[in-house]
C-alpha cells in the first residue's frame, strides 16, 4: 500500500462526511501478518486496506465498528496476542491504534426554499451537519450553495422522503399546506427519524393532528411532530427570526441525541 492510497481514501470519506476509524499497527513483536506502520480504514459498512487478515483483523474491525456505533471520540490502543486465543499461528504480539475520524454528522432534510427555508439553510450550513434541501421549484434555490448542501428539485417532494437515511432530521417549511400534510404523513409513517419539525400555528397543528389520525397515524407518532416548530421563547415573524428559533431547536435535538449515544 502506497502512503497516498489511504490518504486518498480518507479524503473521499471526509468529503462524504462518513464516519470511520483508522487502524494503525504501531508495534509488533515476533511473527505477525504485517509490519508496523500498516493502516486500515473501517466504516460502518466497509473496510479499506488490511492489517493482514485473520482473527486479528476481524477483532480489530469489530472494535472499530463498535466505536463508530457509540460515536466514540477518543482513540484506543489494543494489544493482540496472535496465538491460540485468536486462532492465528503467528505467535507474535500486535499493538493496534484505533483513531475515530470523520465523525458522523446529523443529516438534515429541509423541505421548502422560500424565505424561511433560505434563512434556515444559511444557518445550518455553518453547523456540523449534512443538508438535503428539497423543493419543486428550481428557481427558488440560490445560484450557489455550500458544498455540504445537496439541492434536490422534485415535482413531487413527498416522494423523496423514503430516499433519506434513517435518523434524519426533517424540517418542513413549504409554501403549500397540502404538500405539508403529504410530507407529514410520509415522515410519520417512516417513524425512524430523529426529529420532525413542521412550520405552522397551533390551529394548523390541531387540523393536521385530526387529518393525520384519520390516515392511521398513531397518537404516539403524532406526539413526535414538533408543530409549531422552533424554540417558543424565540419570538419574531421575520424569516431570520423564525430560522433562528428552528435552528436552536434542531441544535438542542441533535445535542441531546449525541449525549444519549
Summarised one tens digit per residue, pLDDT across range 108-134 is 999 999 999 999 999 999 988 889 999
pLDDT band at 205, cuts 50/70/90? very high
How high does pLDDT run on average in the chain?
88
pLDDT of residue 33: 58
Helix (H) or strand (E) holding 225: strand 225-226
Domains for the chain: give ranges and CATH numbers: 3-101 (no CATH), 107-259 (3.40.50.720)
Read off the C-alpha cell for 167: 435518523
Query: DSSP assignment of 52-67, as one string?
Result: -SHHHHHHHHHHHHHH
Contact 51, 78 (CB under 8 A): no
pLDDT of 2 higher than 60: no
Classify residue 93 by burial, with Cβ atoms within 10 Å: 0-12, 13-18, 19+. middle
pTM of the model: 0.70
Cα–Cα distance measured from residue 189 to residue 181, given in angstroms and rounded to the nearest whole number: 12
Residues 143-189 pLDDT 10s: 998 877 999 999 999 999 999 988 999 999 999 999 999 999 999 99
pLDDT of 35 higher than 80: no
Amino acid at each position: 500500500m502506497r502512503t497516498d492510497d489511504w490518504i486518498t481514501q480518507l479524503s473521499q470519506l471526509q468529503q462524504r462526511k462518513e464516519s470511520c476509524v483508522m487502524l494503525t499497527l504501531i508495534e509488533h513483536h515476533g511473527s505477525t501478518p504485517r509490519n508496523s506502520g500498516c493502516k486500515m480504514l473501517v466504516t460502518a459498512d466497509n473496510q479499506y486496506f488490511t492489517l493482514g487478515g485473520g482473527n486479528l483483523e476481524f477483532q480489530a474491525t469489530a472494535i472499530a465498528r463498535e466505536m463508530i456505533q457509540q460515536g466514540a471520540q477518543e482513540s484506543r490502543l489494543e494489544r493482540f496476542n496472535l496465538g491460540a486465543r485468536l486462532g492465528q499461528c503467528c505467535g507474535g504480539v500486535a499493538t493496534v491504534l484505533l483513531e475515530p475520524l470523520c465523525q458522523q454528522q446529523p443529516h438534515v432534510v429541509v423541505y421548502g426554499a422560500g424565505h424561511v427555508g433560505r434563512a434556515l439553510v444559511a444557518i445550518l450550513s455553518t453547523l456540523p451537519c449534512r443538508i438535503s434541501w428539497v423543493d419543486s421549484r428550481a428557481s427558488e434555490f440560490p445560484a450557489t450553495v455550500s458544498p455540504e448542501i445537496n439541492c434536490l428539485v422534485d415535482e413531487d417532494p413527498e416522494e423523496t422522503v423514503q430516499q433519506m437515511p434513517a435518523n434524519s432530521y426533517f424540517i418542513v417549511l413549504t409554501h403549500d399546506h397540502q404538500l405539508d400534510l403529504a410530507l407529514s404523513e410520509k415522515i410519520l409513517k417512516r417513524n425512524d427519524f430523529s426529529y420532525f419539525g413542521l412550520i405552522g400555528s397551533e390551529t394548523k397543528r390541531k387540523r393536521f393532528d385530526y387529518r393525520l389520525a384519520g390516515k392511521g397515524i398513531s397518537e404516539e407518532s403524532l406526539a413526535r411532530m414538533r408543530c409549531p416548530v422552533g424554540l417558543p421563547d424565540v419570538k419574531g415573524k421575520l424569516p431570520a427570526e423564525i430560522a433562528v428559533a428552528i435552528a436552536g431547536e434542531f441544535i438542542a435535538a441533535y445535542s441531546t441525541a449525541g449525549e444519549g449515544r
